[in-house]
Chains A and B, each alone.
Chain A
Amino acid sequence: MTTEPMPTDRASTQIHNIGYRHYDGPRLGRAYARRSLFSQSLRGAYGLGRSAKSKVLPMLLFVVMCVPALIMVAVAVATKAKDLPLDYTRYAIVLQAVIGLYVASQAPQAVSRDLRFKSIPLYFSRPIERVDYVVAKFAAMASALFILTAAPLIVLYVGSLLAKLDFTEQTKGFAQGLVSVVLLSLLFAGIGLVVSAVTPRRGFGIAAVIAVLTISYGAVSTVQAIADTQDNGSAVTWLGLFSPITLIDGVQTAFLGATSAFPGAEGPSAGQGVIYLLVVLGLIAGSYGLLMRRYRKVGL
């Protein structure tokens, strides 16, 4: 073996030059990859950039979410009402089934398919870290939910201004509604993603998310109704801690001037509201933590 390398020029040593060249353009880096993942996930949540069939369900749910707002506005304008028939903060509570179906159908598609087709390792071969993936998916899902829940509020607000309702009152209600919707989006996105990141099966993810959202609400409201007939007001309030939508209801009753949808319309007081808020924030942080843990070693 010769230790001394032969002084050769590269062209002559190459057996076959097919003209590969180095990429020496600008590297867009981690932030760009994170942004791309975010926008791709957000578009995907409404079926944009996917097949026509997968656009149907999210768009349909979006329309279903907005139509009642349009009807209410039309009624308010036509009858010259003094007030909107439904509070801004109450809207999402009333239409929670639609929101639940949306989370259930879109959260699994955001994460389950990456797991099932093993495209996670491909993501991580890019210059993004685990935290980027989790943050991008979480933010995209929360933004998609925010669009879904804030759009009808905007319709209501614009409509109430057109109907010449009281400006300051409506603006205040609208702002309170937006805050509650932000909390709701973060909470539901967190829960939906954590549940659906557990399974690579899309169908099973849907059922699991719905089970967590609807069954917990069904169970809580059933027991609340019974506690209410027993005039056990404190039990009604504490039971509200056990399902996502009643949590949001409790927070906005305590801090955002909403009337509670609990049986007996007895929401939590400000002190209990702090606990509600802490539980909500804890759940959001917890679901972020769980997602980070879930992706510590996945498909690698």
Chain B
Amino acid sequence: MYDPTVARLTYRALLGRRRALILFALPVLLVVIAALVRGLTGADDQTASDVLGGFALATMVPLIGVIAGTGAIGPEIDDGSVVYLLSKPIKRPTIIFTKLIVAVAVTMVFSAVPTLIAGLILNGNGQQIAVAYTIAALVASIAYAAIFLLLGTVTRHAVVFGLVYALVWEALFGSLVAGARTLSVQQWSLAVAHKVSGGDLVTSDVGLPLATVFLVAVTVLATWYAGQKLRTLKLAGEE
């Protein structure tokens, strides 16, 4: 189910050249903000939770997920070079699974590690906040990478749809309509984080059992469907 060559190619596509710039810039920005806030307010648990929840988990993790998830397969489909990969005797689901693992790993490294660092800067892991949000970021990375990888195989406008989901659905509808929060990767991962931290600062609108079921179901279904989609992939010309 895992092909080292495909993995190596995907790593190089994701981390080579300029794409890596955004991937590095976002975590650096988060750490800078954490330092700035610490300088402004001193160590404060509520503030730390606000910054990590509002900026790291709500904006940064989805965005890195979009870049890594769609970037793992989107450009290849876009410029047609995916045919060289598909013509090799490798199962399509294997290709997807390998790319998923790479995308998950990249998202985790670039979102969870800076979240942990920012959390430590903000309040030195008081009330387990840094660890809780790091775990939320780790869990969210898996689901985001799977969803956005699927989007990358389904549509040419994967990045736009990914951003609409990440920014409009989760950020805007999530804050306005309570029901939208049940269907949000962010809330599912917060449920897991809530269980880990045990405190009151990290809360979620979704119960842990439901969140776990959703997380697993979404990840598995998205990966499976992306594999199916890749089996019947049609290469369209540039419009």
Contact = CB atoms under 8 A, between A and B. Distances in A.
Q: Is chain B a partner of chain A in the same complex? A: yes
Interface of A: 50-51, 53-54, 57, 97, 101, 104-105, 113, 117, 198-199, 201-204, 206-208, 210-211, 214-215, 218-219, 222-223, 225-227, 229-230, 232, 235
A223 B75 CA distance: 35
Contact of A222 (B55, B172, B239): B55
Contacts of A210: 63, 163, 167
B239 A54 contact: yes
A264 to B, nearest CB: 15
The 4 closest A-B pairs by CB, nearest first: A51-B239, A203-B159, A206-B159, A218-B59
B50 A226 contact: yes
B159 A219 contact: no
B51 to A, nearest CB: 6
Contact of B41 (A51, A215, A230): A230
A204 B160 contact: no
Interface stretch (B18-26, B89-97, B137-145, B210-218): B18-26
Interface residues of B, number: 38
Contacts, number: 95
A201 B75 contact: yes
Contact of A50 (B164, B167, B239): B239
Mostly, the B contact residues are helix
Q: Is chain A's interface secondary structure helix, strand, loop, or mixed overall? A: helix
A38 to B, nearest CB: 21
A214 B55 CA distance: 11
A53 B239 contact: yes
Contacts of B74: 203
Contacts of B167: 97, 101, 210, 214
Contact of A199 (B18, B47, B67): B18
B54 A97 contact: no
B50 A57 contact: no
B29 A215 contact: yes
A39 B132 CA distance: 53
Contacts of B239: 50-51, 53-54
Contacts of B112: none
Given A199-B18, A210-B167, A230-B41, 13 more contacts: A53-B239, A97-B167, A101-B160, A105-B157, A117-B238, A207-B67, A215-B60, A218-B55, A218-B59, A223-B36, A223-B40, A226-B50, A230-B40
Instruction: Pick the most buried of A199, A218, A223: most chain B CB atoms within 10 A of its CB.
Output: A218
Contacts of B18: 198-199, 204
A222 B51 contact: yes
Interface string B1-38: 00000000000000000110010011001000100110
B45 interface: no
A101 B163 CA distance: 8
A117 B167 CA distance: 31
Given A101-B163, A222-B50, A226-B51, A204 B75 contact: yes
Contacts of A113: 238
Contacts of B41: 226, 229-230
A219 B55 contact: yes
Interface in B43-86: 47, 50-51, 54-55, 58-60, 63, 66-67, 70-71, 74-75, 78
A246 B100 CA distance: 37
B158 interface: yes
B168 A97 contact: yes
20 contacts: A53-B239, A97-B172, A203-B159, A204-B71, A204-B75, A207-B22, A207-B159, A208-B22, A210-B163, A211-B22, A214-B63, A215-B29, A218-B58, A218-B59, A219-B29, A222-B50, A223-B36, A229-B41, A229-B47, A230-B41
Interface string B155-181: 001111001100110001000000000
A227 B47 CA distance: 11
Contact of A226 (B37, B75, B157): B37
Contacts of A223: 33, 36-37, 40
A203 B71 contact: yes
